[in-house]
Amino acid sequence: MIGKLFLIPTPIGNSEDITLRSISTLKDVDLIVCEELKEARRLLSKFNIQKELISLNEHNEKEVAPEILRHLKNGKIIGLISDCGSPLFSDPGHYLTNLCIVENIQIIPLPGANSLIPAITSSGLEIEKFYYYGWLSQKKDIRIQELLRLKKINEVLIILDTPYRLAVLLSDIKKIFSEKQQVVLAFDLTMKSEKIFRGSVGKILDEVLLEKLKGEFVLLIDNRK
């Protein structure tokens, strides 16, 4: 029989956010494909799970994916996890899953922890419609052009970026949109340091600089006219 590939969400900060189904699936699979071995071992040790691990990341996915595909063709049940959150969501795994689709290997996605939905529901904004852009370019000139294009979209805009670019991103939005542009910053969701900032981008930028905040975040821009 051909195996199955389970996409298993992992906590984004608080380990208690993992679902019972995710735990039972991690215990049942034959092996686990993870982004980083160290992070995977840390998570699995909390739930007394010991499994064979294969590291698949942005640097080796095309080399490792055929090996994983062979395991699946040989009937192995495999779980795919990322360092945190839902697999494939701004994380590796797309090449592997496309190979599985071509080979008619069943892919089973599990619901679970992610940063997007908590950020949206806690924002206080009308969230029936929104525009998810995701990660901006690392290159400043391209990032500025992306923000200029986003400025023309009259929706709640959702942006992700790395922790060390938080202040830079807020500064760019202040310049390109306006100092009074209303935003929501969901910072370090599910962690003890969690904070939800709501207000003008100028005010929130000042708070970020004052507190020297550096952490995972989701940024919502209320660009509705």
pLDDT value at residue 1:
84
Tell me the C-alpha to C-alpha distance, in Å, between residue 17 and each of 21, 36, 160, 164.
Answer: 12, 20, 21, 25
90 falls in which pLDDT band (50, 70, 90)?
Answer: confident
Q: What is the mean pLDDT of residues 178-186?
A: 97
Domains of the chain: 4-109 (3.40.1010.10), 116-222 (3.30.950.10)
- How open is the CA angle 150-83-104, to the nearest 5 degrees? 85
pTM: 0.88
Mean per-residue pLDDT for 86-101? 93
pLDDT at position 89 is 85
- Determine contact, residues 174/201, Cβ cutoff 8 Å: yes
Helix (H, G, I), strand (E, B) or coil at 153: coil
Indicate whether 91 pLDDT > 90.
no
Tell which phi-psi region holds residue 48, choosing left (phi > 0), alpha (psi between -120 and 50) or beta: left
Pairing of strands 4-7, 31-34: unpaired
pLDDT computed for residue 126 by the predictor: 86
Angle between helices 166-176 and 201-211 (to 10 degrees): 160
In percent, the amount of the chain with pLDDT more than 70 equals 100
Residue 144 has pLDDT above 90, yes or no: yes
Average pLDDT over residues 89-101: 93
R_g (Cα) of the chain, nearest Å = 19
